[in-house]
């Protein structure tokens, strides 16, 4: 994998602020877009713009084909069947769809480390239990075993924590869920962009992820639903596209996945997500994984040497991928983010990262977070480490 | 039937306990804590109150001496300022008190942030008791550092401002309604955990007999709990609803104030003004409040008068910022805020030169006491006027009238400036308008968002005509009816958004 060549594809890297390049370390929030994805959107608007499905005219048919082709690309990307791919806006919507559409009673088991998107939708509709983590942020599998029972309907767990960057033992979690007859939803928002995912190998029932965190545009996301689980689901939004026929007082629902895509979807978003996946596949997910792993281990190594820098979660690079949250003792995380921004154009995130319960569990306030992706470099991490060292030394 | 004399009402019991709390705090706890932790705030406070009785000439002399000292200190110790001085060919020893603006470029927020920390702080000083401070906004956050002495001076200046403007002191009940929308979910206040007193650190300090460390431990413990000591309670902000919250929410706030009976009620001016309007509109008896003080925004004269009438108490104003502390405060005449000349030097500048008394200009502030991180000619982003005449209140310091943010100033085709305060009072002069926002899209082209009063009809033509008479006959104004005016990211409101803002 040639990072220099990859960087050439990203127009934002050519932008200078105060005559310096931008160092973008906020990839867990959203990634930058390569020229190919940007062009894909423009190409759609310039050539195919039309509403999809049921249109007789050429543009509608072309547009429909591109949209369905995108679905096939997504399916191939995670080794699923195209019928198992539902386009949604983002991970949050995907989880809400499952929360509202999954039939049957039973408890939902999630963990204290989850993003609010994997907590709040369950809280609203279901009885929820929370699996604890150890002091280094790892899922406590014994606690999971003790809490999962025959009344558990579903276990909902993130594959990678968006705060700690720890890769959860997702196979183990799914195995435990299956043993007790529970379904399993994997929040893949932070893993799908970095790891080659095979849903058949994972054995999960649901997988959710967002296009904008993997080079695609915002407003397009994916919900994978294992085909035989559709029987246990019902659409929670009805309207255009979700039906085969409608009469006053009755309707015949469309087959999945269209029955879960009410209204005009984000057509261009889906097409551009397909282009983003092409890009990732061309670079190869194995290479991206190795690159991101190298960066996070390097950053950890440098940051661990800085006194007064408090890193959250396991310090073992093997446990992590792409994300590190930390605080400089004596200095607020927002101040750290602002100083990094103004001094070296380093863009990082600060706050609770939509995971306030995790911060509560760790007994900490808000934190600063750096997150890496395929266009980031070793040199950029050296700049970060040097400036963090200066700040920490000063405070 | 007469109640037996020995029995007290709950109100009396509350008042007696409040007096006892005050006595205990003033006479015993605070002096002991002050002595042990070496914070010296009481001595500073007394010195400051003495300074308030100085003549104008004495204040000027003291101010200039301190100004020169801090400039020399910045030149010698702070890389950023040293470079600045050298760039303009200025030796701080040569600075004269000649009535001109200081011959150094203003220090902007970006200057501070892009040199923070080592480039903008004094080198070679003991940093062990430096305290980091930051504003709590989410978008324009700026941070500073105070050394131990400056932190204590700030503390004392706070007591001074509260005492002089509103007769509030440390033991009286205090209620605040800050504007921050994002405090909880974004952790925008950077709040850390309150450390336990009986910690491992305390044990270690006792074992090792580290008296300085023990002092710091105690100081930190009480500093983290200062709100409880101050009997200060905080109500949530209006949040994302904007200016016009539901009547239920308004009742919640009024009831909370009524129940707590604060001596000091502080809040974003718009919040307090909204409560005042509501009390008057519904003819509701006002809650018991000793004094009202706005913070986090500019209070116009119309707001002040409305609050005074609705709450039936004095409305006082102070001026300051998180990065520096209290800078000025009101007196009972309410004719501008008296600058703390022993602590700050302020220039009101127009086109880079000192403005005449009463003339509108930008405020540049020099903190005379922060040696850890000097703020010299800091461009705080506000506009205002200054007055040097003795208006007879007994305090001889210059007075400031702060009139809003510089980016909210608009000018007409003749070049006359209108501050956000002036525009606010103009639009709130319309009975049918509850709230508004004026957006200048480009020079001379405005949009006006109008929130009508309950049941009121907005006569757009009349508003346009009056605005043209008031501001400029040659402007375009489109009006739109809305339900609320949304706040900015940090929770504060901008009622005038100027797109054509130019340097004043």
Whether B185 has a pLDDT exceeding 70, the answer reads: no
Q: At residue A53, what are phi and psi to the nearest 5 degrees?
A: 60, 135
Residue A340 distance to chain B (closest CA, Å): 9
Q: Which 3 state secondary structure label does DSSP give A302?
A: helix
**Separation of alpha carbons B306 and B312, rounded Å:** 10
Q: How confident is the model at residue B87 (pLDDT cuts 50, 70, 90)?
A: very high
The DSSP bridge pattern shows strands B344-350 and B291-294 to be: unpaired
- Name which of B231, B251, B337, B259 is nearest B294 in CA terms: B337
Whether residue B167 has pLDDT greater than 70: yes
Q: Please tell me the predicted confidence (pLDDT) of residue A376.
A: 98
Residues of A in contact with B118 (CB under 8 A): 390, 394
Q: For A86, list phi and psi in degrees, rounded to 5.
A: -110, 125
Test the A interface: residue of B117, B142, B490 with most A CBs within 10 Å: B117
Residue of A334, A339, A394 with shortest CB distance to B190: A334
Closest approach of A305 to chain B, Cα-based (Å): 20
Q: Per-residue DSSP letters for B310-367?
A: HH-SEE--EEEETTTEEEEE--TT-SSEEE-TTTEEEEEEETTEEPPTT--EEEEEEE
Mean pLDDT of B360-371: 96
Spell out which residues of chain B touch residue A387, defining contact as CB-CB under 8 Å: none
pLDDT at B502: 65
Compare CB distances from B132 to A330, A342, A343 and report the shortest one's residue. A330
Using the predicted structure, report yes or no on whether residue B193 has a pLDDT greater than 60: no
Given the DSSP bridges, would you call strands A323-328 and A309-311 parallel, antiparallel or unpaired?
antiparallel
A338 touches B117 (CB < 8 A):
no
- Residue B238's pLDDT is 87
Closest CB to A352: pick one of B110, B143, B185. Answer: B185
- Give chain B's mean pLDDT: 87
pLDDT tier at B380 (50, 70, 90 boundaries)? very high
CB contact under 8 Å between A335 and B141, yes or no, is yes
* C-beta of residue A260 within 8 angstroms of C-beta of residue A101: yes
The pLDDT-based confidence of B377 (bands split at 50, 70, 90) is very high
At residue A8, the pLDDT reads: 97
Helix, strand, coil shares of chain A, percent, nearest 5, are 45, 20, 35
Whether the CA torsion A74, A76, A80, A81 is positive or negative: it is positive
- How many Cβ contacts (< 8 angstroms) between chains A and B? 68
Question: What are A155's strand-pairing partners?
Answer: A109, A184
CB contact under 8 A, B190 and A395: no
Cα–Cα separations (whole angstroms), residue A287 to A29, A193, A228, A291, A373: 21, 12, 33, 6, 11
Alpha-carbon gap: A152 to the closest alpha carbon of chain B (Å): 30
**Coil vs helix vs strand at B501:** coil
Which is it for strands A128-131 and A107-111: parallel, antiparallel or unpaired? parallel
Q: Which two tokens stand for residue A151?
A: 């009344």
**Chain B hits for A333, Cβ within 8 Å:** 187, 190
Q: What is the residue-wise DSSP string for B167-223? A: ---TTS-EEEE---SSTTTS-TT---PPPPSS-HHHHHHHHHT-HHHHHHHHHHHHH
pLDDT over 70 percentage in chain B = 90
Residue B391 in this model has a pLDDT that exceeds 80: yes
Question: What chain A residue is nearest to B138 in terms of C-alpha separation?
Answer: A334
List the single residue in B with minimal CA-CA distance to A333.
B190
Residue in this structure with the two tokens 């009063």, named with its chain if needed: B453
- End-to-end alpha carbon distance in chain A: 39
What's the DSSP call for residue A233? B
Q: Which residues of B touch A350 (CB under 8 A)?
A: 187
| Contacting residues of A for B114, CB less than 8 Å apart | 18, 342-343
Does B360 or B205 have the greater pLDDT score? Answer: B360
CA distance B113 to B135: 12
B193 touches chain A (CB under 8 A): yes
3-state class of A387 per DSSP?
A: helix
**Shortest CA gap A361–chain B (Å):** 12
Whether residue B187 is predicted with pLDDT greater than 70 in this model: the reply is: no
The span from the CA of B47 to the CA of B174, in Å, is: 25
Q: Which of A18, A335, A365 sits opposite B192 (nearest CB)?
A: A365
In chain B, which residues have their Cβ closer than 8 Å to the Cβ of A359? 187
**Pairwise CA distance, residues A133 & A152, whole Å:** 19
pLDDT tens-digit readout, B116-145: 888 999 999 988 888 877 665 444 466 788
**Per-residue pLDDT at B195 exceeds 80:** no
> Hunting for tokens 């649901």 — which residue is that?
A206
CB contact under 8 A, A334 and B113: no
Q: What is the pLDDT of residue A261?
A: 96
Q: Is B452 near chain A, with CB under 8 Å?
A: no
Residue B37 has pLDDT above 80, yes or no: no
Structure tokens at A235: 């659409």
CA atoms within 13 A on the CB side of B89: 0
3-state secondary structure A329-382: CCCCHHHHHHHHHHHHCEECEEECCCCHHHHHHHCCCCEEEEECCCCCCHHHHH
pLDDT value of position A7: 97
pLDDT of residue B191: 47
The first and second tokens of residue B362, run together, are: 């930008």
Q: Which phi-psi region, left, alpha or beta, contains residue B465 (left: φ > 0; alpha: ψ -120 to 50)?
A: alpha
CA-nearest of A223, A215, A232, A220 to A283 is: A215
Quote the minimal CA–CA distance from B182 to chain A in Å.
10
Q: Is B19 on the interface with A (CB under 8 A)?
A: no
Q: Do A339 and B117 touch (CB under 8 A)?
A: yes
CA angle B420, B424, B425 (to 5 degrees): 125
- The minimal CB distance from A365 to the residues B116, B134, B191 is found for B191
* Alpha-carbon gap, residue B458 to A314, rounded angstroms: 61
Of B127, B134, B191, the CB nearest to A335: B134
Is A354 a catalytic site residue?
A: yes
Q: What tokens does B192 get? A: 């850390």
Per-residue pLDDT of chain A (395 residues; tens, 9 = 90+): 899 999 999 999 999 998 999 999 999 999 999 999 999 999 999 999 999 988 899 999 999 999 999 999 999 999 999 999 999 999 999 999 999 999 998 999 999 999 999 999 999 889 999 999 998 899 999 999 999 998 999 999 999 999 999 999 999 999 999 999 999 999 999 999 999 999 999 999 999 999 999 999 999 999 999 999 999 999 989 988 888 889 999 999 899 999 999 999 999 999 999 999 999 999 999 999 999 999 999 999 999 999 999 999 999 888 899 999 999 988 889 889 988 998 999 999 999 999 999 999 999 999 999 999 999 999 999 999 999 999 998 87
Q: Are B214 and B155 in contact (CB under 8 A)?
A: no
d(CA B415, CA A323): 53
Are B114 and A343 an interchain contact pair (Cβ–Cβ within 8 Å)?
A: yes
CA A169 vs CA A56, A139, A258, B428: distances in Å: 49, 8, 33, 61
Which among B184, B187, B196 is the top mutation candidate for probing chain A, defined by the most A β-carbons within 10 Å of its own β-carbon?
A: B187
Contacts of A180 (CB under 8 A, 6+ apart): A148, A149, A150, A152
Q: Which residues does chain A have within 8 Å of residue B124's beta carbon, measured at their own beta carbons?
A: none
Q: Report CA B469 to chain centroid distance, whole Å.
A: 33
For B187, the closest of A338, A343, A351 (CB atoms) is: A351
The residue to which tokens 């003291």 are assigned: B62
Is A390 in Cβ contact with B118 (below 8 Å)?
Answer: yes
SS3 assignment, position A97: helix
Going by pLDDT thresholds of 50, 70 and 90, the confidence category of residue B4 is very low
| pLDDT of residue B404 exceeding 60 | yes
d(CA B1, CA B361): 65
CB A364 within 8 A of CB A312: yes
* Contact at CB, A338 and B143, closer than 8 angstroms: yes
Kindly give the pairing relationship between strand A206-210 and strand A221-225: antiparallel
Cα→Cα distances B235→A366, B112, B249, B267, B330, Å: 21, 32, 12, 9, 25
Contact B143 A332 (CB under 8 A): yes
Please answer yes or no on whether A351 and B143 come within 8 Å at the CB atom.
no
Residue B234 β-bridge partners: B176
Per residue in B436-491, pLDDT (tens digit) is: 999 998 888 999 999 999 889 999 999 999 999 999 998 999 999 999 998 887 78
DSSP state of B27: I
Predicted local distance difference test score (pLDDT) of residue B139:
45
pTM beyond cutoff 0.90: no
Residue matched to tokens 């929820």: A128
- Cβ pair B113:A333 closer than 8 A: no
Looking at CA atoms only, how far is residue A337 from chain B in angstroms?
10
* Facing B116 at nearest CB: one of A334, A339, A352: A339
Q: Model confidence at B425, in pLDDT bands (50, 70, 90)?
A: very high
**Which pLDDT tens digit goes with each residue over B330-349?**
999 999 999 999 999 999 99
pLDDT of residue B135: 63
Residue B142: the pLDDT is 66
Q: Which distant-in-sequence residues (6+ apart) come within 8 Å of B57 by Cβ? A: none
Chain B from 68 to 127: CB within 8 A of any A CB: 110, 113-114, 116-118, 121, 127
Say if CB A272 and CB A217 are below 8 A apart.
yes
pLDDT at B9 over 80: no
- Residue of chain B whose alpha carbon sits nearest to that of A357: B185
Distance CA A104, CA A107 (A): 10
Within 10 angstroms of residue B389's Cβ, the number of other Cβ atoms is 12
Active-site position among A184, A204, A333, A354 = A354
Q: What are phi and psi of B186, to 5 degrees?
A: -95, -10
3-class secondary structure, B58: helix
Contact between residue B267 and residue B177 where contact means Cβ atoms under 8 Å apart: yes
Of residues B170 and A24, the one with the higher pLDDT is A24
E strands present in B406-462:
410-411, 417-418, 433-442, 445-452
Q: Band the pLDDT of B423: cuts 50, 70, 90.
A: very high
């Amino acid at each position: 994998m040639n990072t220099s060549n990859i960087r050439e594809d990203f127009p934002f890297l050519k932008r200078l602020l105060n005559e310096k390049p931008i160092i973008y370390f906020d990839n867990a929030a959203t990634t930058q877009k390569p020229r190919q994805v940007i062009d894909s959107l423009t190409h759609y608007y310039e050539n195919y713009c039309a509403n999809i499905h049921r249109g007789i005219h050429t543009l509608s048919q072309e547009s429909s084909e591109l949209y369905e082709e995108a679905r096939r690309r997504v399916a191939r990307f995670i080794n699923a069947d195209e019928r198992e791919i539902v386009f949604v806006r983002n991970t949050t919507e995907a989880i809400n769809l499952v929360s509202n559409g999954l039939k049957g009673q039973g408890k939902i088991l999630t963990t204290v480390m989850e993003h609010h998107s994997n907590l709040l939708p369950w809280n609203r509709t279901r009885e929820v239990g929370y699996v604890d983590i150890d002091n280094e942020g790892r899922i406590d599998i014994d606690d999971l075993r003790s809490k999962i029972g025959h009344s558990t309907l579903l276990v909902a767990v993130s594959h990678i924590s968006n705060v700690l960057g720890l890769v959860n033992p997702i196979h183990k979690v799914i195995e435990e869920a299956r043993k007790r007859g529970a379904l399993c939803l994997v929040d893949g928002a932070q893993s799908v962009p970095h790891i080659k995912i095979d849903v058949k190998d994972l054995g999960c029932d649901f997988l959710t992820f967002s296009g904008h965190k993997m080079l695609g545009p915002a407003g397009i996301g994916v919900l994978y639903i294992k085909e035989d689980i559709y029987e246990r689901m019902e659409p929670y939004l009805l309207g255009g596209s979700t039906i085969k026929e409608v009469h006053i007082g009755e309707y015949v629902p469309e087959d999945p996945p269209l029955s879960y895509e009410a209204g005009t979807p984000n057509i261009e978003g889906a097409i551009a997500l397909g282009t983003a996946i092409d890009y990732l596949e061309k670079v190869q997910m194995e290479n991206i994984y190795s690159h991101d792993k190298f960066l996070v281990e390097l950053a950890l190594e440098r940051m661990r040497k800085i006194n007064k820098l408090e890193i959250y979660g396991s310090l073992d690079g093997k446990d992590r991928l792409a994300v590190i949250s930390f605080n400089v003792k004596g200095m607020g995380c927002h101040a750290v983010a602002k100083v990094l921004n103004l001094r070296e154009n380093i863009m990082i995130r600060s706050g609770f990262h939509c995971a306030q319960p995790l911060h509560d569990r760790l007994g900490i306030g808000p934190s600063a977070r750096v997150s890496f992706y395929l266009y980031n470099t070793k040199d950029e991490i050296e700049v970060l480490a040097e400036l963090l060292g200066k700040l920490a030394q000063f405070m | 039937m007469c109640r037996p004399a020995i029995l007290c009402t709950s109100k009396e019991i509350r008042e007696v306990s409040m007096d006892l709390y005050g006595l205990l705090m003033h006479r015993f706890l605070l002096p002991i804590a002050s002595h042990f932790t070496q914070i010296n705030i009481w001595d500073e406070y007394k010195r400051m109150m003495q300074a308030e009785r100085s003549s104008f000439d004495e204040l000027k002399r003291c101010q200039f001496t301190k100004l020169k000292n801090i400039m020399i200190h910045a030149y010698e110790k702070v890389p950023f300022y040293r470079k600045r001085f050298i760039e303009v060919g200025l030796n701080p020893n040569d600075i004269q008190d000649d009535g001109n603006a200081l011959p150094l470029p203003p220090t902007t927020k970006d200057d501070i942030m892009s040199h923070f920390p080592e480039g903008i702080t004094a080198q070679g000083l003991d940093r062990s008791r430096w305290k980091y401070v930051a504003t709590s906004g989410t978008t324009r956050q700026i941070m500073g550092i105070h050394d131990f002495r400056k932190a204590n001076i700030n503390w004392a200046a706070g007591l001074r401002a509260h005492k002089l403007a509103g007769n509030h002191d440390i033991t009286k009940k205090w209620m605040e309604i800050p504007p921050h929308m994002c405090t909880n979910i974004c952790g925008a206040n950077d709040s850390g955990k309150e450390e336990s007193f009986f910690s491992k650190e305390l044990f270690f300090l006792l074992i090792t007999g580290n008296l300085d460390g023990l002092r710091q431990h105690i100081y930190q413990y009480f500093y983290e709990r200062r709100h409880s000591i101050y009997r200060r309670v905080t109500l949530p902000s209006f949040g994302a609803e904007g200016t016009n919250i539901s009547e239920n929410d308004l009742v919640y706030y009024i009831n909370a104030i009524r129940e707590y009976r604060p001596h000091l009620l502080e809040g974003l001016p718009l919040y307090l003004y909204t409560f005042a309007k509501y009390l008057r509109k519904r003819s509701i008896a006002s809650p018991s409040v000793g004094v009202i003080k706005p913070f986090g925004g500019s209070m116009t004269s119309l707001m002040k008068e409305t609050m005074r009438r609705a709450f039936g108490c004095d409305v006082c104003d102070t001026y300051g910022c998180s990065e520096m502390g209290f800078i000025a405060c009101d007196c009972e005449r309410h004719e501008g805020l008296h600058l703390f000349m022993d602590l700050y030097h302020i220039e009101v500048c127009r086109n880079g030169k000192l403005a005449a008394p009463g003339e509108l200009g930008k405020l540049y502030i020099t903190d005379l006491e922060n040696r850890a991180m000097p703020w010299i000619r800091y461009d705080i982003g506000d506009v205002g006027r200054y007055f040097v005449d003795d208006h007879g209140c007994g305090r001889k310091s210059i007075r400031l009238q702060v009139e809003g943010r510089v980016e909210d100033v608009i000018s007409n085709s003749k070049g006359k400036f209108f501050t956000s305060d002036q525009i606010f009072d103009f639009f709130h002069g319309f009975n049918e308008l509850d709230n508004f926002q004026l957006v200048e899209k480009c020079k001379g082209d405005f949009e006006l968002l109008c929130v009508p009063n309950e049941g009121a009809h907005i006569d757009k033509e009349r508003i346009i005509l009056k605005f043209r008479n008031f501001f400029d006959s040659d402007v375009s104004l489109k009006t739109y009816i809305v339900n609320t005016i949304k706040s900015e990211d940090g929770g504060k409101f901008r009622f005038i958004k100027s797109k054509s803002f130019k340097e004043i």
